[in-house]
Each structure stands twice: as C-alpha cells, then as structure tokens.
Chains A and B, each alone.
Chain A
Amino acid sequence: MATTTLTPEARAYNRSWVLDWLTTVDHKKIGIMYIVNSFLFFFLAGILALVIRTELAVPGLQFLDDATYNETFTMHGTIMIFLFVVPMLAGFGNYIVPLEIGAPDMAFPRINALSFWFLPLGGLMILSGYLFGGAAAEGWTGYAPLSEAKYAAGAGTDLWIIGLVMVGTASILGSVNFIATIFKMRAPGMTLLRMPIFAWTILVTATLILLATPVLTAGLIALFIDRNYGGSFFDPAAGGDPILWQHIFWFFGHPEVYIVILPAMGIASEIIPVFSRKPLFGYRAFVFATITIGLLSFSVWAHHMFASGQVFLPFFTFMSALIGVPTGVKVFNWLATMWRGSIILATPMLFAIGFVAMFVIGGISGVILASAAVDFHLHDTYFVVAHLHYVFFGGSVFGIFAATYFWFPKMTGKRLNEKLGKLHFWIHFVGFNLAFFPMHSLGITGMPRRIADYDPTNTGWIILNSLETVGAFLIAISVLPFLVNVVATLINGEKVGDDPWEGNTLEWATSSPPPSYNFEKLPPIHSERPVFDLRHRHDAERLAAQGAEASH
C-alpha cells in the first residue's frame, strides 16, 4: 500500500464535475452512486408493484393479461432484490465501512468502481427484455423447466440470465473488496472485536456473497447452455433434472436472504445505541450471532423445496428452526439496548424500531413456514408473500431508510427535516402493514401467489385485496415527503456540523462530508465506540486509573 501521507493541500488534477463522478474511485462517491442507482431501481420496481396491486384490487383481468402479469411480478422481484436491496446495502457498506474502520478507502478502489458500473448495465440488460419481445416471466426464482427455451422462447429470459450474471459478478468482486478491506485496512488499535457492528455484518454478508453467488452463476450459465446450445441440465424431457435447478438456486437463494437482512441488522445496531444513549447490549453475543447466522444460512436452503418431495424434511426443518435462535438473540440485543435508555425518537430511530418490530413478524412467520408439515399447506400461497415482504420490506427497507436518515448528515453535512421524516415514517409504516398483513390471511385461506386473477365470489378475498392495494398506494405516497425532503434539504438545508447525532463510531470523527482521504486524525481506539470514548474521555481516564480495559 502507498505510504504517502495525504494532506489537505493534496488535490487531484482538475476535471469536470461529470467526468469526476464517472471516473471516480473514491469509495464515498461510489457509495453515493450505489445509493442513487438503487433508489432509481426501487422507484421503478415500486411502480411495477403498484401495477400488480392495481390489477389485484378486484377480481378479473382489468388491464393486464396473464403473460404481462407474469413479466411484471418477475421484473418486480428481480429488480427489488438484485438491483435495489442488495446494492443499496452494499452502497452504505461502501460509504460507511472504510470510515467506520478508519481506512482511507477500500482495498481495491478501481475494482470497486468496476463493481458499481456492472450494476446499471446488468439492470438495464434485465429490463431490456421488454424491448425484445417481452421480459423474463418465470418469477425471480426462474424455475426450470419453465425457464427453458421450450416454454420461454423469447430473448427476455436470456437477457435476464446475462444481466443476473453481471450483477452477481459485481457482488462477488464487491465482496472480495469488502473482506480484504476489513482484514487489511483497519486503523491501528481496531481489533476485530472492537469493530463496529455494521462492519461486522458487512463482513459476514460479503462472505455469504462470495460463497453463494458463484453457485447461482454456475446455475445461470447451465440454464443459458440449455436454452441456447442444446444442453439438457434441467429439462426432464432431455434427461435433465428440474430439481437440480431448485437446489442450485436455493443454495444461493437462502444465503441471499441473509445477505439482504444482515446489513440491515447492522444498521439497526448502529442506530439504536446512539438514540438510546447506551452501548449495544451484548456486543459479543451480537457478533457471534451474526457469524452463526452466516454459517447456518448454508444449511437451510431446501426448506424452499419441501413441496418437491425430494428433500430430507426433518433435517431442513430442524436447521431452519435453529437459525431462529441467533436471530432471536439479536432481537433481545436491540430490546435490551433500548431498555431504560434515554430514547430519542428521531426519524432514524423510528425506522430502526420499525425494522425490529416488522422483522420480528417476518421472523415468526418464517419459523412457522420452517415446519414442513405447515409448509405443505402454505407453500406457494400469499402467506409466503407476506413472510418475504415482512423480511425484505419490513426488515431490509426499513433498515435502508433508517440508514438514509442516519447517515445523510455524514454524506452531505445537512440533516433531513424531522417533520417530513416522521410523516414519511408513519405513512410508510401504516401503508406497509395495510399492504402486507392481510396477505397472511389470504395465504392461510389458500390464495395462490403469482396468479393474476382470483375467485370473484370470495368476498373475503376481495376486501383484503382491496385493502392491500390501498396500502401499496400509501407506501408510494410516503415516498413523496421523502423525495421532497431530500431535494429541499440539499438545496436549503441547515448545516448541522460533523456529528449531529453524537455518534459512537469513527465516521463521526471526521468532517461531514469527509475529505477524499477520510481522516486527518483518528481518536485512540480502545472499544467499539471510539468517538463516544473520546467525548467521555475523562470517564475513560478515571476507569483507566482503576486498571480497567481502557488503559493503553
């Protein structure tokens, strides 16, 4: 690594603003590009969700036919997962992790830029199916043989495969970068067990991406060979095995679930202590729970395949229930952190609490589905849709908005308006529950997922579906105060200084926004809360005099 000492006077050569952003290798600019890019795909996939909900508001086919409906939910799921939630969390990781560990940048800045630029390209590749005879329409899981050339003849599925391989490659390169950064570039004094929780969750997440995504890549390439070169991996008519696709997909797909939730857990674990004015309860338990979830996540994939009749039910039921244990540990970490804290209900904290509450609902429905006996009844019903949205949306998306409100002052030097933020939260929270809670009932009473129409005589279903559509539009409306807030704050916002929340971790020890080299100075690191220690250094000195761990 270069040992040049950067000084505030050291400047790059002058470039135009556009060229500067297009060619940047600064992890902070790349992080912001990740975040902006992910929000754009979020709005796009959100519009697709509104299309779905509008079609389902009442029975009958109003303005979509079956094929278009299939394309819509496929693109909605694919874009939301691969181009919104995962890259959004990677974007926060990009911006925050080097700052939190006191590093000047990522380990491989140019590979970092490459990882980012694969994303818009891959996303547009997936969407470009619409221009070539229809987008992929097999669901985000692309089950074979439905996705074979015989049943999905158009170029849409091929473009979907190529796009996903690109996005996956971006993730793999990004995870190599995160792991190398965290292991090689921590500031002096920052041992692994003094590392902020968000960096820990990103480390475990990156490991999962590194080991799970290549398996999906292998499967996607095999599917591509089937479709284009006469291969017969997954087509039973040609001697292939469709269950093989399910195994490959879910061997990736279940770690993927933890890839999207672990960083959100990390975000909540950064925010809740700051706004409870207490350290995170059970830091080490949290770290080990995160590692345990990462390990277990590779042994539960076949619970998505109970209904296939091809998997060993007791093992996967047991492992799936077991993974609830470290997850439950974390919920107690958060609750005990808030217990008797001086809680400040600022917008980031509201979203973090919303995250915990909604994630618990998603976790409970997950444990219910882990039981093979129950799953046989609920498989492929709206109960599963409810579960995955409580985890992805109630979990990850609440975490993403919490992170946005929390770190916006770090990225811009300005704080988002609290009134608009709270308005955003409450409409979002009500809309979310209205949209997704009734799906539990729909699923239990047998409404299948991925169907464009339903029984017009079932008035119970009609009422619940209409309610859900109202909820979906409420979520869409809640985004408006958010957008107004962002624009107005960027133009007109008040400067709030370097550390407006009185944070704990190193990103708050530099200016807002940080200079390109991140830090001129670092506080001494004796715990996982170096900035807190610095603010309360007299207490620390007193403890040090008593021979506590804070001695140097």
Chain B
Amino acid sequence: MAAETPTMQVVAEPRREAGMPTPMVGMLLFIASEVMFFGGLFAAYFNSRADHAAEWGPPGGHELEAWPLATILTIILVTSSFTIQFGINAIRRGDQRKLRMWVGLTLLLGVVFLLGQLYDYSTLGFGIGDGIFGTTFYTLTGFHGAHVFGGAVGMTILFARASQGQFSAKNHVAVEAISIYWHFVDVVWIALYFTLYWLK
C-alpha cells in the first residue's frame, strides 16, 4: 500500500510563497471576470448604437454635455487613483499615518464622485425607460457607479484597518488588492467617459 511506504516525504517544510501573493492572484482573476462583465455591457451599447446610428443621442431634445460636470467628475476619479497609489507608496515605506491619510482622501474622492453622479442623474431630464439611449446610458454608468460604491466599501474597510495599525511595510496585501480594483474601476470610467461623452 502506497501510503505506508518509507519513501514518503514529510510535508513539514513550509511551502515558499514565490511570486505574486495568492490574494493578489485572486483579485486579478476577479478583475478579469469584471472586464468580461463590462465587455458584455459595452458590446450591448455599441450594438444598440450601431442599430440606431442615425438618430443616436438622448431622447426628447435633451443634451449630454461633457462639460462641466462629467469632466470634473472624471478628474476627481482619476485623481483618486493617484491618491491611493501614494498610500501604497507610504505603506511600502511603513508609514501607517500617511497610508491612513491617503486612503481617507481616496474614499472622500470616491464619495464625491458618486454624489456628483447622482446629481448628474437628477438633472439629465431623461430616464432609463426613455428609449435605447437612456437604457444603455443608465445601465453602463449605473453599474460603474455600483462598482465605485463597492470600491468605497473596500476603502472604508482599509481605512478602519489602517486606523488600527494592521498594515506594515511587509504585510499590506489587502491595500494592494483593493487599490488594483480601484484602478480598474477608474479605467472603466475613462472608457465610459470617452465612449458616452466624446465618441461621435
């Protein structure tokens, strides 16, 4: 019987963690699935737009303006990608106080973005049920907003954990993982911004 043979080796050696930490692998895989999710929504958008190429635009004489609100919100969200990266640089040096500050600022920018988006929704004058343009616009921006909200929840957890001093220069994989998700959500917004507001 194989299990009793003397040539078996004891698995006492701790397995070495080579390469990327496992939680980071998990987050990247999850982001890959998110890319496909937004890919599906973008495909729906472009398909609908191609079906209605001649009359594409907001219904009933409403306008979708890139300036000022959408552009300002874009700048806010892009800025937040920088602030979280400064936070990572801080904790890589072991600076917990700076980490907390940058995570807090990122969270704040995210919340401002969401509030700005809600305000934008309230002024647009058309809804999700007003034709195919409204449907795709609100679905895409709404799901992006939901992802920003998810990221903001993550930032809140990071902020709480950072406040308790749970991260160090060696041990901060959660910060790295949440930040890469935040960057991803940011990139989706940049794609949305140019697709919805600029693409003619």
Real binding pair: yes
A residues whose Cβ falls under 8 Å from a Cβ of B: 1, 3, 5, 102, 107-108, 111, 172, 175-177, 179-180, 183-185, 187-188, 210-219, 221-222, 225-226, 229-233, 238-241, 244, 247-248, 251, 497-499, 508-511, 519-524, 531, 534-535, 537
Q: How far is the CA of A12 from the CA of B41 in the complex (A)?
A: 45
Q: Whole-angstrom distance from the CB of B61 to the nearest CB of chain A?
A: 17
Contact of B129 (CB < 8 Å), options: A5, A179, A231, A248: A231
Shortest CB distance B195–A (Å): 16
A180 in contact with B5 given A5-B14, A229-B128 (CB within 8 Å): no
Whether a CB of chain A sits under 8 angstroms from the CB of B164 is no
Residue of B with least CB distance to A4: B14
| B interface, over-half SS | helix
The answer to whether B25 touches A172, judged by C-beta atoms less than 8 angstroms apart, is no
- Whether the pair A498, B41 counts as a contact (CB closer than 8 A) is no
Instruction: Given A185-B15, A241-B48, A241-B51, check contact A218 B37 (CB 8 Å).
Output: yes
B71 within 8 Å of A by Cβ?
Answer: no
Contact A509 B36 (CB under 8 A): no
The answer to whether A240 touches B132 (Cβ under 8 A) is yes
Interface pair A215/B3, CB less than 8 Å apart:
no
Contact across chains for B1 and A498 when beta carbons are under 8 A apart = yes
Tell me the bound Cα distance from A216 to B11 in angstroms.
42
Given the complex, which residues of A lie within 8 Å of B165, measured CB to CB? none
- Say which residue of B3, B7, B39, B48 sits within 8 Å of A511 (CB atoms): B3
A232 to B127, CA, bound (A): 12
Which residues of B1-30 are within 8 A (CB) of A? 1-3, 5, 7-15, 17, 22, 25-26, 29-30
Question: How many inter-chain contacts with C-beta < 8 Å in the A-B complex?
Answer: 157
Q: Complex Cα distance A531/B47, Å?
A: 53
Among A179, A213, A218, A248, residue most surrounded by chain B Cβ atoms (within 10 Å): A218
Given contacts A184-B25, A244-B48, contact A225 B135 (CB under 8 A): yes
7 closest cross-chain pairs (CB), A and B: A230-B129, A218-B40, A3-B14, A521-B8, A214-B37, A215-B40, A231-B135
Residues A233 and B2 in contact, CB atoms below 8 Å apart: no
What are 29 A-B pairs with beta-carbon distances under 8 A?
A3-B14, A5-B14, A107-B25, A107-B26, A172-B30, A175-B29, A176-B26, A180-B25, A184-B25, A187-B11, A211-B32, A214-B33, A217-B37, A222-B139, A225-B128, A229-B129, A233-B48, A239-B48, A240-B48, A240-B132, A241-B47, A248-B44, A497-B1, A498-B2, A499-B3, A511-B3, A522-B11, A524-B7, A531-B2
Question: With A232-B132, A233-B44 as given contacts, are A498 and B29 in contact (CB-CB < 8 Å)?
Answer: no
- Closest partner residue, chain B, to A509 (CB atom): B2
- The answer to whether A239 and B26 touch (CB under 8 A), given A188-B15, A210-B33, A522-B11, is no
Are B2 and A523 closer than 8 Å at their CB atoms? yes
Residues of B within 8 A of A524 (CB): 7, 9
CB distance from A177 to the nearest CB of B (A): 8
Residues of chain B lying within 8 A (CB to CB) of residue A229? 128-129
Contact flags B52-78 to A (C-beta < 8 A → 1, else 0): 100000000000000000000000000
* Cβ of B50 to closest chain A Cβ, rounded Å: 9
Pick the contact of A180: B15, B26, B127 (CB < 8 A). B26
B11 touches A179 (CB 8 A): no
Complex partner residue of A510 from B3, B15, B29, CB under 8 angstroms: B3
| Contact, CB under 8 Å: A214 / B36 | yes
Per the bound structure, the CA–CA distance linking A238 and B51 in Å amounts to 12
B115 within 8 A of A: no
| A222 lies within 8 A of B52 (CB) | no
Interface core residue of B25, B33, B143 (most chain A CB under 10 Å)? B33
Residues of A within 8 A of B143 (CB): 221
Do the beta carbons of A534 and B2 come within 8 Å of each other?
Answer: yes
- Which residues of chain A come closer than 8 Å to B131, judged between CB atoms? 232, 238-239
Q: Does B169 contact A (CB under 8 A)?
A: no
Residue of A238, A241, A247 ringed by the most chain B CB atoms within 10 A: A241
Question: Complex Cα distance A183/B22, Å?
Answer: 9
Complex: A183 Cα to B143 Cα, angstroms: 31
**A214 and B40 within 8 A (CB):** yes
In angstroms, Cα B4 to Cα A520, docked, is 11
Chain A residue numbers with a CB within 8 Å of B15 are 1, 3, 185, 188
Residues of B within 8 Å of A247, CB to CB, are 43, 47
Decide: A218 near B44, CB < 8 A? Known: A188-B15, A523-B8.
yes
Least Cβ–Cβ distance between A231 and chain B, in angstroms: 4
Given that A215-B36, A225-B135 are contacting pairs, would A522 and B3 also be in contact in the complex, using a CB cutoff of 8 Å?
A: no
Q: Is residue B95 contacting chain A, with contact meaning CB distance below 8 A?
A: no
- Contacts of A523 on B, CB cut-off 8 Å? 2, 5, 7-9
What's the least CB distance linking A501 to chain B, in Å? 11
Cross-chain contact A217 with B135 (CB below 8 angstroms): no
Q: Given A218-B44, A233-B132, A498-B3, output 5 extra A-B contacts at Cβ < 8 Å.
A: A183-B25, A214-B40, A225-B135, A251-B40, A521-B8
Q: Is B34 an interface residue (CB 8 A)?
A: yes
